[in-house]
Structure 1
Amino acid sequence: MKKAEVVFIPSPGVGHLVSTIEFAKLLIKRDNRLRVTVLVIKFPHTTETDVYIKSLPNSDSLNVINLPECSLPPTSGPGPAMNALLEAQKPNVKQAVSNLITGEQHGQLAAFVVDMFCTNMIDIAKEFSVPAFVFFTSGVAFLGLNFHIHNLFERDNVDSNQFLQLTELAIPSFANLVPTKSMPSAVLHKEYESFFISYAKGLKNADGIIVNSFEELESHAVYSFSSHPDLVGLPIYPVGPILNPEPKTKGTVDSDDIINWLDDQPPSSVVFICFGSRGSFDEDQVKEIALAVENSGARFVWSLRKPPPKGTMIPPTDYPLSELVSVLPEGFLDRTVEIGRVIGWAPQAQVLAHPATGGFVSHCGWNSTLESIYFGVPVATWPLFADQQLNAFELVTELKTAVEIALDYRVELFGGPNYLLTADKIERGIRNVLQKDGELKTAVEIALDYRVELFGGPNYLLTADKIERGIRNVLQKDGEFCLH
C-alpha cells in the first residue's frame, strides 16, 4: 500500500531544520502509513545544514530534498530578505511537490507542514487542495504574544512607536505583565512592522498550529487559547518537547574529550556557557566574559565562536587556536587550565545531560530552553535576538527556573549589541545559576529516603507540607521544577 505524503518546509537555518526533522521522525514512528518529505531551503552560500542532513539515516519514510539555491537582490533588512528568499523558492517548492505526487512510488498528497516563517507556502498547499499546518518552533506563550500584537496592530490601530512609550503590556498568554524591553525587535521597530503583520496573518491562515511545547510547562499559555476571547478558535497542538539529544554537527573539538573532562568534575559544579548556532561576540564582550569566568572561580565549559563578517547571514565558525589565544585575555587559558575548557562548537545536549553540569549561561533559544528543562539544568539568561528576550522573561518570571544575567540585551541583525554586558553582572549570574541548581536539586530530593518494607510499614510519616510542595513543584505553580 502506498503511503500518504506529508510535505514539511522548514525555514533556513539548522535550528529550525533539526526540530522539524525530529518532529517528522516522531510522526512517522506514530503512524507508518505516512511518508514525510522535507524540502530544505538554504540561505545563499551557506552550508550549515549539510553535515546534519548527511548524518541522517536512509529511510523509505523520510525523504530530504535540498531545493536549488536562489540568488537574491539586495534588500534593506532581514524581513524583506526572508520574504524575497521564500517567494523566490515558491516555484521550486511547487515543482518538487508535483514531482512527488506524480512519481510511481509515492502516494496521495495529504498535507503541508510549514515552518512559522514559511506561511506564504500555505498558498501552494491551497493550489494542491490539501490542508496546511504551521510547525511553530517556539513556545505557546510566544505564539500568543504574536496573535495579541497582531490584533493591536490591525484591530486597534496601535503601531510600533506607541509600544516604545509603554514600559509593560498585558498579554493573554503570560500570567505576568510583559516588559516592553523583552518584546521581539519585529514589534519594536517601525521598519519591521509590515513584515510582522504579514507573518502573524500567515499564522492565522493555517488550518492548525503544531507547537514544540507541552501543557505541563506552559499551562497558563495553553489554557489562554481555550479561554481568552482573542485566542479561542485558533487550534493549537502542543507536541513537545521535541529534542535531538545527538550532536547536530562536528566542530574542531572532539566531543569525547569534553565528556571525559566532565567525568572528572564534581556533580553540579560546572557552568556551561553556550549561545547556540548563531551566537557570537566581539572581542570587548569576550574579554568581559573571560574576566567573569575567572573571577567566579567556577568550573566551566565555554563554547566560544568567531563572529561572521559584518553584514552577512552566515553562522559563526570555530576559532583557530592561534586566534583563540589572541581574542582572550593574556594568559587566560593557562590560568584556567585546571578548572575549565574553551571550545568551539559544543555537543550541547550531551553537556547538559552530564551530572557535572550545574548551570547553563544561555541565549534562551527555544531549543536550548527545552533542553535545559528536559535535563533539569537551570539557566542564566543572556538573550540575543528573535524570541529569546521573551523566552528569557518566561524562564525568569513565569517559570522561575532561571536567573537573570540580562533580559534586555539585544543584537540587531546586521547591527551590533545595544550595550556591553560587564563582567560583574556575568559573574553574578554564574554564581547565582550554580546556587539555583542546588535549590532545584533540594526541591527534587524531598522524599528520596521514604521506604516501605515488605510485610512492614513506612519508615516515617510524610507530612502534608512536603507533599503539597511536591504537588506545586510538579505543576510549576510555585515556579520550581525539575523535569528529567
Structure 2
Amino acid sequence: MAKTVAELIFIPLPVIGHMKSTIELAKLLTNQDQRLSITVLIIQPLSGLRTGSAIATYIESLANKSTQQMRFITLPQDKNLPTRDPKAPMRFVNNYINTHCKHVTNVVTEIISQPGPGQLSGFVIDMLCTSMIDVANGFNVPTYVFYTSSACYLGFQLYIQTLCDEQNKDVVELTNSDQEVNVPGFVNPVPTKVFPSGYDTKEGVDYVLLISRKLREAKGIVVNSFLELETHAIESLTSDKSVPDVYPVGPVLNLEGGYMENSESDVIKWLDSQPCSSVVFLCFGSLGSFDEVQVKEIAYALERSGHRFLWSLRQPPSLEQASRNPGDYEDLGDVLPEGFRERTARTGKVIGWAPQMAVLAHSAVGGFVSHCGWNSILESLWFGVPIATWPIYAEQQMNAFEMVVELELGVEIKLDYKKDLFNPKNDFVTAKEIESGIRRLMDDDNIRVKMKEMGKMSRATVREAGSSYASLGRLIQEFIGNVP
C-alpha cells in the first residue's frame, strides 16, 4: 500500500444532496490515489430537522464506513443556535455554519498534533460553507470549494458579484425587471424570470455576494459537471483569470444503490411489468411538494395524457411543523381526484418517497418530470432519460433554462415556476401546461436520442482517458504538491 502523504479536511453542508455528492468525491479521490487521507467533518443537521429524516439517517450510516483512508467526525452543536428568520433563511444557514468554525479549528488542531503518516494539505469545503476558508487560512493551507451545482450557475453567481462590486448595479431591481441579460458562460441571453429565488431581495443578494466574494479566495473550485456537457461555461470560467482554477470532475454520483426496502421492491416490480421507455416518472426532490389544488391539476394532466406514469407524491409540511421536509400521505385518496386511482390503475402508480436512482435506471422509464436539482439532472443524464422541467426553488430555474434552451436536452413544463418554502402562496401550473409538457417529453425522439448520447459521454468522461478523470488527476497532484 502506498504511503499516505496528504491529509485533507472535507466539510460538507448538512443537506442530503450536498452531503452525498461530497462523500462520493472523497471516495473517488481515495480510490484513485492511496497517498490521500481524508477526514470528513460532519455538521449536524440544522435544528428543526427531525431525527430519522433522510439526512439524519444518512449521517448515522457513516459511522460504520470509516476506513484507513477516510474517517468521519461529527462536530459538536452549540446549545445557543442562531434564530431562524423566515424572511432571511439564508442568513440563518450562514450563521449556523459560522458557529462551527471554532469546532473545526479545535478538531483540526487535535488532528495535526497527533503523529500521523500524512501532512495537512488543504480543506475541501461545500460551496455554502465558505466561512471555513478563514479557518483553513489559520492553518496556512489552501481551500478548495466543491461546487455541487452547474458550471453555468457558477459563472452566473460570479457575474452577479461583478455587476454589484465593479459596475455598481442594483441586482434586486434587475431581477424584478422583465429583461434578458448576457451572462458569461451562457450562449443565450438569460431572462431575469429564471434568476433564482432570493435574488429579488436585498437579503438574498447580500448572501450571494458574501459567498461569491469568498469563492474567489479559494485556490480551486471543483465542479460537479463535465466538459462535454458544459463546454462553453467551463471554457468561459477557465479563461477568466479572476476565477480560481476550475476542476470539472463530474458526474459525481452515488451509484451503489444501497439496500432495497419493500416499498422500493414493489416499485421496481411494477416497472418490470411495463413496456420499455413507456413510463413518465414524476419526482420533485427532498423538498418538493404541492398543495391539493396543484396535485389535482397534475392528476388531471396525467389522466388526459394517456401515458403510463410513476408519481412520487409527497405531503407538504404544515407551517406549524418543526420539520420543513415533506412526508408521505397516510391516505393518498385524501388529495387525489375522486376515482383517479381506480381509473388509472392499469397504467399508473402513485407512491410516496421514490428510489429515484433505481427508477431512472429502469428500462421502462422514458421520461422524467423533475424539479431540476443538479444531482437529479446528472442522474437523468447518466441513464439517458429526457427531462421535463418543473423547477421549484434555489437555482433550479436556471438549471431548467440550461437544459431546455442552452443544451436542448429537455422540454419545458415551466421554466420560471417558483415556490417559497416559507410562504404558502406560490405559482400555479395548469393541467393543460402539464399535459402538453408530458406529451412533448414522451413523444420527442430527437431529445431522447440526444440524451442517450450525452449519457454515454457522462460515463466515458469519468473513465480512464476521460476529461473528468484527467481533471481529478490534476486535482490530486495539486493536493500532493501542497505538502512541503
TM-score normalized by the length of structure 1: 0.87
Residue 474 of structure 1: how far off its partner (Å): 7.4
**SS of alignment partner, residue 232 of structure 2:** helix
Comparing 305-314 with 214-223, greater Cα deviation is found at: 305-314
| 1:280 and 1:316 in contact (8 A); partners too | no
Q: Tell me which residue corresponds to 2:46.
A: 43
**Structure 2 CA distance, aligned partners of 1:107 and 1:292?**
58
Task: Provide Cα deviations, 1:174-205, integer angstroms capped at 9, x if missing partner.
Answer: 00000101111232222312111111111111
Is 1:61 matched with 2:72? no
Q: 2:341 aligns with which of 308, 330, 333?
A: 333
Q: Tell me which residue corresponds to 1:194.
A: 206
CA gap 1:170/1:313 in 2 versus in 1, 3 angstroms: farther
Comparing 53-62 with 342-351, greater Cα deviation is found at: 53-62
Q: Tell me which residue corresponds to 1:439.
A: 446
**Structure 2 CA distance, aligned partners of 1:67 and 1:444?**
41
Q: Tell me which residue corresponds to 1:174.
A: 186
Q: Tell me which residue corresponds to 2:82.
A: 72
Residue 378 of structure 1: how far off its partner (Å): 0.5
CA gap 1:352/1:474 in 2 versus in 1, 3 angstroms: closer
Is 1:217 matched with 2:219? no
CA gap 1:311/1:187 in 2 versus in 1, 3 angstroms: farther
Is 1:244 matched with 2:238? no
- For 2:249, the aligned partner's letter is V
Residue 248 of structure 1: how far off its partner (Å): 7.2
CA gap 1:204/1:313 in 2 versus in 1, 3 angstroms: farther
| 1:409 and 1:417 in contact (8 A); partners too | no
**SS of alignment partner, residue 100 of structure 2:** helix
| 1:226 and 1:232 in contact (8 A); partners too | no
Q: Tell me which residue corresponds to 1:370.
A: 378
Residue 98 of structure 1: how far off its partner (Å): 1.9
**Structure 2 CA distance, aligned partners of 1:261 and 1:141?**
37
Comparing 350-359 with 290-299, greater Cα deviation is found at: 290-299
Q: Tell me which residue corresponds to 1:26.
A: 28
Comparing 300-309 with 350-359, greater Cα deviation is found at: 300-309
| 2:281 and 2:368 in contact (8 A); partners too | yes
**Structure 2 CA distance, aligned partners of 1:303 and 1:169?**
35
Q: 1:361 aligns with which of 369, 373, 381?
A: 369
Residue 99 of structure 1: how far off its partner (Å): 2.4
Residue 100 of structure 1: how far off its partner (Å): 2.1
CA gap 1:66/1:261 in 2 versus in 1, 3 angstroms: same
CA gap 1:29/1:201 in 2 versus in 1, 3 angstroms: same
- For 1:349, the aligned partner's letter is M
CA gap 1:217/1:411 in 2 versus in 1, 3 angstroms: same
Is 1:203 matched with 2:203? no
Task: Provide Cα deviations, 1:317-367, integer angstroms capped at 9, x if missing partner.
Answer: 432433x22011122222222111111111111111111100000000000
- For 2:219, the aligned partner's letter is D
CA gap 1:2/1:355 in 2 versus in 1, 3 angstroms: closer
Q: Tell me which residue corresponds to 2:289.
A: 280
**Structure 1 CA distance, aligned partners of 2:223 and 2:30?**
17
- For 2:226, the aligned partner's letter is F
Q: 2:420 aligns with which of 412, 432, 436?
A: 412
- For 2:39, the aligned partner's letter is T
Q: Within 5 A, what are the aligned runs for 1:288-367?
A: 288-310=297-319, 314-322=323-331, 324-367=332-375
CA gap 1:340/1:444 in 2 versus in 1, 3 angstroms: closer
**Structure 2 CA distance, aligned partners of 1:299 and 1:259?**
15
- For 1:44, the aligned partner's letter is S
Tell which structure's C-alpha radius of gyration is larger. Answer: 1
CA gap 1:413/1:312 in 2 versus in 1, 3 angstroms: farther
Q: Tell me which residue corresponds to 1:147.
A: 158
Comparing 402-411 with 71-80, greater Cα deviation is found at: 71-80
Residue 3 of structure 1: how far off its partner (Å): 4.9
| 1:245 and 1:350 in contact (8 A); partners too | no
Residue 310 of structure 1: how far off its partner (Å): 2.1
Q: Tell me which residue corresponds to 1:454.
A: none
Task: Provide Cα deviations, 1:293-314, integer angstroms capped at 9, x if missing partner.
Answer: 1111211111111212327673
Q: Tell me which residue corresponds to 2:108.
A: 97
**Structure 2 CA distance, aligned partners of 1:248 and 1:67?**
26
**Structure 1 CA distance, aligned partners of 2:265 and 2:457?**
34
Across the aligned residues of Structure 1 and Structure 2, the Cα RMSD in angstroms comes to 2.4
| 1:145 and 1:171 in contact (8 A); partners too | yes
**SS of alignment partner, residue 37 of structure 1:** strand
Q: Within 5 A, what are the aligned runs for 1:226-265?
A: 226-227=238-239, 233-247=243-257, 254-265=263-274
Unaligned regions of 5+ residues in structure 1, if any? 446-469, 476-484
